[in-house]
């Protein structure tokens, strides 16, 4: 039987707090460090591996974490989630994003519909449309092919799909699967839409409007912006737009769109990249086959997340080490550092995924919790970040855990040899150097040049960033966030924190303000 209890009531957590912390600098120096790198690694899907040698753990800490996983019933709670129990207690909903890329456990029915069949059918519809667009069976009014796809959405309707597109754009070009250039409009700032529209040929552009509710203010505002541009160019907007929405939204049956593809309330925006939210734009950009490979990688990683054994479950292990860092060692932040330019927007997606999910101060029952929950997430790709905020990471007063991502090979197979090594080798050398530098530091009599070390990190490493590897990477972090929410006894699947500002913004636009709200409205000439 599944039970939900606060972390500070769990006996294994109390045991974990008594374990002596690891001296990372000593543990990672010399042959000790080499042995840890070989020992502390877990295989992931798509040829990836999660290596946690440079984390502040040893066998004693790991044993305590395994007890915590068992006592908090992490495997059982994940099983309950993918078998359709109501895990989103705030909105009284199931959580079904795993079903968009494979079937774990039992079939799930909701609202009189088999959800597995529903998601598969929507993916087939998207694939059919993408193939028709690529074949020239669906064209603009002049009978000419569309060459650009533009996604209009915000939050989870933008961050994930945009990050995935950028991650695979160059791979698709090298592997001859690149079909259409993609652009994204998200911010209600008119400069965002105007800048995109100024760089594309609207006559040959297909726009994907993404809003589950069909009422998202920023998205509908940008839709009107785009429709005006199409009309001003003498074009019929309904020949250039498709919608990704819910079946109950006002967009679902509208004649304003060439087609509508459906998702539902059981998939949160930040978990929607493997649904039609990401499926439409990625299938149009790269072809349905590439999107299917992406889904396969995520599905294979989901299977690993079912393992009850923490040491065979990389997402669970990563999550529990993160809980140890947050709740025992007291670290408040986590930096995500992909050493791959293709993952330039992946940290931004993880910011929303993690902080919108686990940025909670009450438990699943609405009661205040007396311990820290989700960390602050930030990051940039290496080596750019090294010339930016790594100074604070190395010598700042706060210790910030680090999550590196790195690949042996580049995506585009173009490189040069300079000073006896390639650019990719230089990139990978920087990853290895940074991990050891953070862990071991460097003694110097000049305190300004002294590095204390003891800065923990992990790395997810693989051969190359392919669609399957990207899917596995996405699934890993989604499941990590889920497991941490389970440990903290919070609901990771609602986001009430984003609502208050929206409500007040509507009051401002309706000129229904007083006090400070009116003063700020006057300051900004609204």
CA 421 and chain centroid, separation? 33
Cα–Cα dist 296/150, whole Å:
25
Using an 8 Å Cβ cutoff, are 65 and 320 in contact?
yes
Cα–Cα dist 137/13, whole Å:
60
DSSP assignment letter at 88: B
The one catalytic residue in 408, 414, 502, 506 is 502
Cα–Cα dist 2/169, whole Å:
43
Using an 8 Å Cβ cutoff, are 97 and 268 in contact?
yes
77-83 long-range contacts, CB within 8 A, separation 24+: 77/2, 77/486, 78/305, 78/306, 78/479, 78/482, 78/483, 78/486, 79/105, 79/306, 80/2, 81/482, 82/302, 83/108
Catalytic site includes residue 356 = yes
At residue 40, φ and ψ (nearest 5 deg) are: -95, 75
Residues across the chain: 526
Q: Which two tokens stand for residue 442?
A: 């460097």
Catalytic site includes residue 507 = no
The one catalytic residue in 356, 360, 476, 478 is 356
The one catalytic residue in 387, 442, 449, 506 is 387
CA 59 and chain centroid, separation? 30
Catalytic site includes residue 134 = no
Pairing between β-strand 113-114 and β-strand 109-110 as defined by DSSP bridges: antiparallel
* 383 upstream amide cis, omega within 30 of 0: yes
Which active-site residues does the annotation give? 356, 387, 502
């Amino acid at each position: 039987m599944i039970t939900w209890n606060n972390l500070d009531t769990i006996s294994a957590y109390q045991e974990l707090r008594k374990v002596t912390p690891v001296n990372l600098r000593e543990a990672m120096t010399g042959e000790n460090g080499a042995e840890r790198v070989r020992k502390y690694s877990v295989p992931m899907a798509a040829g990836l591996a999660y290596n946690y040698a440079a984390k502040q753990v040893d066998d004693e800490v790991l044993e305590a974490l395994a007890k915590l996983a068992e006592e908090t019933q992490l495997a059982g709670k994940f099983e309950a989630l993918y078998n359709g129990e109501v895990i989103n207690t705030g909105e009284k909903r199931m959580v079904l994003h795993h079903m968009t890329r494979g079937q774990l456990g039992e079939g799930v029915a909701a609202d009189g519909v088999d959800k597995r069949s529903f998601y598969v059918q929507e993916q087939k519809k998207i694939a059919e449309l993408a193939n028709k667009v690529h074949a020239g069976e669906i064209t603009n009014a002049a009978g000419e092919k569309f060459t650009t796809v533009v996604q209009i959405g915000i939050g989870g309707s933008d961050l994930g799909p945009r990050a995935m597109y950028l991650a695979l754009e160059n791979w698709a070009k090298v592997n001859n699967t690149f079909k259409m250039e993609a652009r994204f409009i998200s911010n209600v700032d008119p400069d965002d839409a105007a800048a995109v529209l100024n760089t594309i040929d609207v006559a040959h552009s297909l726009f994907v409007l993404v809003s589950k509710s069909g009422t998202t203010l920023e998205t509908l505002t940008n839709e009107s912006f785009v429709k005006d541009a199409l009309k001003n160019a003498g074009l019929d907007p309904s020949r250039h737009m498709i919608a990704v929405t819910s079946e109950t939204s006002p967009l679902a049956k509208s004649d304003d769109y060439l087609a509508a593809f459906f998702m539902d309330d059981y998939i949160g925006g930040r978990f929607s990249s493997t649904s039609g939210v990401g499926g439409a734009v990625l299938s149009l950009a790269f072809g349905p086959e590439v999107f299917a490979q992406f889904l396969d990688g995520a599905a294979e990683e989901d299977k690993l997340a079912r393992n009850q054994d923490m040491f065979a479950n990389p997402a669970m292990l990563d999550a529990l080490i993160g809980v140890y860092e947050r709740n025992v060692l007291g670290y408040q932040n986590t930096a995500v550092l992909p050493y791959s330019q293709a993952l330039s927007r992946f940290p931004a997606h993880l910011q929303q995924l993690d902080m919108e999910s686990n940025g909670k101060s009450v438990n699943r029952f609405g009661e205040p919790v007396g311990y820290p929950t989700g960390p602050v997430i930030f990051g940039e790709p290496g080596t750019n970040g090294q010339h930016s905020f790594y100074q604070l990471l190395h010598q700042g007063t706060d210790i910030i855990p680090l999550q590196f991502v790195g690949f042996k090979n580049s995506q585009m197979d173009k490189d040069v040899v300079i000073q006896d090594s390639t650019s990719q080798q230089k990139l990978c050398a920087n990853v290895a150097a940074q991990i050891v530098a953070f862990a071991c530091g460097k003694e110097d009599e000049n305190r300004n040049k002294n590095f204390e070390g003891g800065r923990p990190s992990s790395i997810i490493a693989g051969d190359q960033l392919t669609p399957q590897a990207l899917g596995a990477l996405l699934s890993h972090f989604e499941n990590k966030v889920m497991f941490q929410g389970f440990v903290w006894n919070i609901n990771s699947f609602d986001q009430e924190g984003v609502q208050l500002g929206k409500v007040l913004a509507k009051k401002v636009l309706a000129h229904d303000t007083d006090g400070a709200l009116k003063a700020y409205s006057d300051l900004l000439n609204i």
